[in-house]
Amino acid sequence: MPSKITIQPGSADLAKRFHECFESVARERVHLASLVAPSLEAIREFTVKAAEGRNIRMFAVDGSHVVGWCDVFIGQKPGFEHAGNLGMGVLKSYRRQGLGYRLVRAAIDLVWDEGLTRVELEVFASNTAVISLYTKCGFEREGVKRRARYIDGKYDDIILMALLREPTSNR
């Protein structure tokens, strides 16, 4: 049984541990569009920028190990600053313990504080457990990209989902 797992903002000092976590999930070749993690330098750079700006990265930390993450890339182009794109991953041995829900809720709370009114995501149709998680968090299905991914001899659709919030200001 894992020790008490904390949900905390991503930080540069945990970038190497996050890189290891991302690499592990990516190499499963099932849950992420990436089959390998970005470079450690790219992860450090994003983590620092997220801490300084509006992008969000939350980590699930067990002791000194990053065991999951949820990030939201906030739109930078004019007309898209109200929306963010959510991505996440949890190490296989830590799944089905409520970490995904905790991570998503923590990230969503922060982006609402940033004034966003839309959070969107893409999920493989074969990933029914995560689709259930996103639905539990309030996301609704908006569309399908049919046969969007072809890997290891199999096609997979991508489900488009979004969570909307009424604007609270002029954003």
> What is the pLDDT, as a whole number, of residue 169?
57
Please say if the pLDDT value at position 101 is more than 50: yes
In tens, the pLDDT along 46-99 reads 777 777 767 899 999 999 999 999 999 998 899 999 999 999 999 999 999 999
> What is the pLDDT, as a whole number, of residue 35?
93
Residue where the block lists tokens 């600053």: 81
> What is the pLDDT, as a whole number, of residue 139?
98
Residue 39 or 2, more confident: 39
Cα distance between residue 60 and residue 166, in whole Å: 29
> What is the pLDDT, as a whole number, of residue 76?
84
In tens, the pLDDT along 102-151 reads 999 999 999 999 899 999 999 999 999 999 999 999 999 999 999 999 99
Q: How many residues does the chain have?
A: 171
Please report, as a single letter, which amino acid is at residue 55: N
For the chain, domain boundaries: 5-164
Give me the CATH topology for the region 5-164.
Answer: Aminopeptidase (3.40.630)
> What is the pLDDT, as a whole number, of residue 1?
40
Confirm whether pTM is higher than 0.85.
Answer: yes
Question: What φ, ψ does residue 88 adopt, rounded to 5°?
Answer: -160, 170
User: Angle 89-98-84 (CA atoms, 0-180°, nearest 5)?
Assistant: 45
